[in-house]
Structure 1
Amino acid sequence: MTTDDPRVGWVESPLQLINAVEAAADLDEPTLILLRRGVAQLADTARWLEPHLPEGIRFAEASAATDPRFRDAARRLVGDAFSGQFRAVVTATGARDLVVVDDGSAALHLAAVLAGIERFSRMGQRESAVQRTLGTLTGSRLRAAARAGRVTLVTAYADHEAMPTVPGARIVPNRYAWLRSLDAAPPVELRSVVVLGSALAVDGYVDPERYEAWAASHGAEATYLPHRREDPAALERLRAAGLAVVEPGLPAEIVLGSARGVAHVHSLPSSTGATLARVLPVGTVMKVTAVRHDWWTTRADETFRATLAYLASADEATTEED
């Protein structure tokens, strides 16, 4: 690795953390990754990863992206370019030299923003006037930085047919080479069928009753891996329906990447289609269920629905509709 001052990262979720490590390892850069304090599973994920970290990569906690280590860094890495905290930093200090890693399927939306196809806003949300104002300025600065060759997007969607051409930006595929190289024992025992919990219900984009019925339909032979923000009451209902609910406190990429004996993984459309396809053990089949029209709530706008529908249909061989 180089001996320059480290790139400084700001991450707010376990998946962002994994992708930040993958980016630092692939780009061969010394990197200090700041973890947002108080986020569910984030500290646990960091503790699991630390013994395996490549040379030159370090973790530390921070309460906000305005932490001087990130705010004043000449070279940054961020896991969620649409984060309100990141918008505030870019508004105050500019974009600088920036690496952006996947925050789920929002990577495709961000690329469209950088390409000038979409306006800067968080997909599927109605933003406040303040958020829109900060978003307009942030989007303008990020597009200018991309045109100047100062933005690198490290993403599992780099080779996706929906990835637009982004003038000036460097698009680097994330193939999870580092995570796949780990020889770690499985953190939990899983049944042969695994159902992945989805943020779509947690965040109010799909009807919770229809979502729970879909999850329960996989039967007593299935393990349910909850999303990190799922309601405990909902998990109790799924247990009562016969699912083995397992809460490992770690992201699915770690749990399933080291799993033994898992034959099928079921999910709704999400970033898992791109990430898990690269880390699942050989022989494990992943099936993505398209969201039916009557599942959506009014919170899910047309852009959001269209993006998720596209992800569900991107690989017909691994997509099912219940």
Structure 2
Amino acid sequence: MSPRTGRTGHPTRTLAFVESPVQLLNVLEWAHLHGLRGADPDPGPGGGSRRADGSRPGSGEPGGAAVPPGGTPEPRPAPEPGPLPSVPAQVRRTVAGQAPSPAGADLTLVVLAPTDPMTRGQLRRMADLARDEGHRVRWEEARGGPAAPFATIGGLTGLLRRADRVVMGDPFSRYVQLLLTITRARDLVVVDDGTATMEFVAQLARGERLVRWHRKGGRRGPRDLVFAPVSSSARRRLTPSAHRRVEVFSSMPVHETPEGVTVTANDFSWTRTRFGPPRITKGADMVGTSLVETGVVDGDSYLDAVRTLAKAHGTTRYFAHRRESTEKLHRLAKETGLEIVRPDLPLELIARRGPIGRTILSFPSTVVHTLPLALAGTGVRVAVCDIDPTWLTETASPRAQGFLSGVTGTARDVHRLPSVSLA
């Protein structure tokens, strides 16, 4: 089946589920590659049609994310105290003469909204960009209380049964796995959710149960056991068959390709077309990680490593991961003197629109694979520092060190730094 026309001749109905800003970005990259540009192209600089107050039609607030029928605008969270500013905005550059979408382009993006305020804020901005591309965005308060999952699933059942293709950003998500049991779609697409994509493909190839890498090796809890039949069903549905095609759209290295799975490279062409080139500063910037928050790396060791790296490379700005805690970031600001930046978009877009340092320092994470692609041709150098085994917590997964080393070792076009000595 072509990306635009279904088996019966009607436009292919594509339903995409995202739970993070990076997942939404990669759905836009996938749609761009397949020519699904939406039905309402951006009319000019600044992006999207707007009212006099700056809001878009169908938006619940100026610049806000779409509100579902009968819903209410989501209030923006109050600014956090302390040195946590956002990067200055840059007017989005559009492609001159952008043509209307082909009639067969039919993509509905469903945001399964998380509760974390930073993630919600970035998702609102990404939803704006998706609407700028003409795609429909449906915002679901999927975690808005005990009854929310039932309301969300009930409201999506009809769409799921009619969809010809389902795109998902996180096959490990219990929400997504549950939705997969409802759909009859013959085409399933997994877009990048960072380093987790590498583990998903490997587990699918080996026929293993789907479990996130930083939890692998740990004891299965009661919820895991209750949900095990749904997870097993999702793994079967994500296995190609005579009646089902599976595509993985990824910028990550894929070494164990499951039989029948199509792997498509994500080179961030949409990002490079729509943003930049950036203004490059002389200094260095650092990218934060949530390895402390996920229980993999010791907090004190991480702070010492950041301080040592920043001093050695003349770093002045620290781009926080959306999952980093406020307490940790305030401590980093106080003890290292770094300017802590809370990005309002995924880092690939922040870096591409600039300003950005000539060198970007990172620990093992998704960005060591994605930033070189997004910044291709700009002269920006991405340097990665390995995680020393002594930084790992006692509760870290036995696979943590090997997995993180693999993330660094498989990255292309990056400069490898020696592990930081914390003596």
TM-score if structure 2 supplies the norm length?
A: 0.68
- State the AA in 1 paired with 2:109: I
> Does the aligned pair in 1 maintain the 2:248–2:264 contact within 8 Å?
yes
Cα 1:147/1:57, change in 2 over 3 Å: same
Alpha-carbon distance change, 130 to 102 in structure 1, aligned in 2, over 3 angstroms: same
Q: Are 1:139 and 2:235 matched, yes or no?
A: yes
Letter in 2 for 1:16: Q
SS in 1 for 2:213: coil
Whether 2:143 is the aligned partner of 1:34: answer no
Cα distance in 1 for partners of 2:263, 2:395 equals 31
Q: Which residue of 1 aligns with 2:164?
A: 74
1:295 is aligned to 391
In structure 2, the residue matched to 1:236 is: 330
Corresponding residue for residue 195 of structure 1: 286
1:1-322 paired onto structure 2 within 5 Å = 2=4, 4-29=11-36, 30-37=106-113, 38-39=115-116, 40-47=118-125, 50-51=128-129, 55-64=133-142, 66=153, 67-68=155-156, 71-72=160-161, 73-93=163-183, 96-116=186-206, 118-125=208-215, 126=218, 127=220, 128-143=224-239, 145=240, 148-157=243-252, 160=253, 162-183=254-275, 192-217=283-308, 218-219=310-311, 221-240=315-334, 241-280=336-375, 282-315=378-411, 318-320=415-417, 321-322=419-420
* Counterpart contact for 2:285–2:356, Cα < 8 Å: no
* Distance 1:310-1:117 versus aligned 2 partners, 3 A rule: farther
Is the CA contact (8 Å cut-off) linking 2:196 and 2:213 kept in structure 1? yes
> Is the Cα–Cα contact under 8 Å of residues 22 and 176 in structure 1 kept in the other structure?
yes
SS of structure 1 residue aligned to 2:230 = helix
Aligned residues of 2:296 and 2:400 also touching (Cα < 8 A): no
Residue by residue, what CA displacement relative to the aligned partner does 1:283-302 show, whole Å, maximum 9, x if unpaired? 11111111111111244323
Alignment identity in percent? 26
- 1:147 and 1:203 mapped to 2: Cα distance? 39
User: After alignment, is 19-28 or 114-123 more displaced?
Assistant: 114-123
Asked if the contact 1:121/1:135 (under 8 Å) is kept, the reply is: no
Gaps of 5+ in 1: none
Q: Does the aligned pair in 1 maintain the 2:188–2:244 contact within 8 Å?
A: no
Identify the range of structure 1 (30-39 vs 283-292) with the bigger mean alpha-carbon deviation.
30-39
Structure 1 distance, partners of 2:276, 2:159, is 31
In structure 2, give the amino acid aligned to 1:307.
F
Per-residue deviation, residues 190-244 of structure 1 (Å, max 9, x unmatched): 7721111102112111101111111122136420011112221211111112111
Q: Partner of 1:34: helix, strand, or coil?
A: strand
Worse overlay, 147-156 or 76-85: 147-156
Letter in 2 for 1:132: A
User: RCO greater where, 1 or 2, for CA within 8 Å and sep 6 or more?
Assistant: 2
Q: What does residue 96 of structure 2 align with? A: none
Q: Which amino acid aligns with 1:140?
A: R
Give the Cα separation in 2 of the matches to 1:35 and 1:319.
Answer: 36
Retained in 1: the 8 A contact 2:286–2:315?
no
**Kept in 2: contact 1:191–1:222 (CA 8 A):** no
Contact 1:228 1:249 in 2 (8 A): no
- After TM superposition, the score normalised by the length of structure 1 is 0.87
Worse-matched range after superposition: 245-254 or 32-41: 32-41
Quickly say closer, same or farther: Cα 1:272–1:116, change in 2 above 3 A.
same
Larger helix share, 1 or 2 = 1
Q: How many residues align?
A: 317
The letter of the residue matching 1:294 is T
